[in-house]
Copies of this chain bind each other. A is one copy, B any other.
Amino acid sequence: MRQSLSLITLGVGDYARAKAFYEGLGWTVAMDLEETAFFPANGVVVTLWSREKLAADLGIADSGASWSGAALAHNVASREEVDQIVVQAQVLGAEVTREPSETFYGGYAAAFRDLDGHVWEIACNPGFGLSGDGSVILPEGTG
């Protein structure tokens, strides 16, 4: 299995509402097909699709749980961007679960849940490099 992640699909309850949330954050849909929104990011494509259809398609019994142990991280170059993005998400209806604050790794981060509960950490981590497309660059020689 190649070391790649092609898409991540976030299951949503209300498609139009979820799409508007990400558009409100400044994102642009590249493909919007049968209530499936494809947002190309840095290599990986973030996709919104009906949670009900996703569960059926994957063969998963959905108990309706709100967190199952995963988080998306969006790294930025400055603490100010962390603050700004969290305020913007909150205005759009996100629940802030971690107010912007220092992290144990010497950075600064906040976290919010989107309208369907998917968790985003917005982080400024001076230990990582940051590419122009938003990908992080891991330090050398730590493997």
Chain A residues engaging chain B, CB cutoff 8 angstroms: 1-12, 25-33, 38-47, 51, 54-55, 57-60, 62-63, 65-76, 85, 88-89, 97-98, 103-104, 111, 113, 116-119, 121-123, 130, 133-136, 138-139, 142-143
- Shortest Cβ distance from A31 into B: residue: B142
* Given contact pairs A9-B70, A11-B70, a sample of 7 additional A-B residue pairs in the complex whose CB atoms are under 8 Å apart: A1-B27, A5-B46, A6-B74, A7-B72, A43-B135, A58-B121, A60-B67
Total copies of this chain within the assembly = 2
- Shortest Cβ distance from A130 into B: residue: B6
In the assembled complex, which residues on chain B have CB atoms less than 8 Å from the CB atom of A89? 1
Tell me, rounded to whole Å, the shortest Cβ–Cβ distance linking A59 to chain B: 4
